[in-house]
Amino acid sequence: MISKEWIAMNALEEAFSEITAFGFMLEQLQEAVDNSDDVATVDITAALNAFYPVYSNNWDKKFKAAWKQVIDDEVPN
């Protein structure tokens, strides 16, 4: 049987893995800058700015849930 702690930590790891999509977008942004592709530079920058809060909020929510499940449950009252 999978523990509640494992589930919480796995969800946190999955949330972090989703952030790695930013690596690809940053590579694309650097390529656009290197090629002086102003349209792509603006588009990719807008995409990064739009997606960042979504990914960040998801990770923060999963982190807080994992902390509560793994750490808070271990702290004596």
3-state secondary structure 30-46: HHHHHCCCHHHHHHHHH
Specify the higher pLDDT residue, 35 or 11: 35
Whether 59 maps to a domain, the answer reads yes
76: alpha, beta or left, given left = phi > 0 and alpha = psi -120 to 50? Answer: beta
pLDDT at 16: 85
Tens of pLDDT, residue by residue over 12-38, are 898 888 878 888 999 999 999 999 999
Per-residue pLDDT tens digits for 57-67:
999 999 999 89
Number of domains present in the structure of the chain = 1
Residue 2 — pLDDT band, cuts 50, 70, 90? confident
What's the pLDDT at 75? Answer: 57
Inside any domain, residue 8: no
Residue 1 lies in a domain: no
Domain membership of residue 6 (yes or no) is no
φ, ψ of residue 35 to 5 degrees: the values are -90, 5
* 48, amino acid identity: L
Domain span at residue 25 reads 21-74
Domain annotation covers residue 16: no
Is position 67 within any domain? yes
Q: 35: buried, middle or exposed (CB in 10 Å: 19+, 13-18, 0-12)? A: exposed
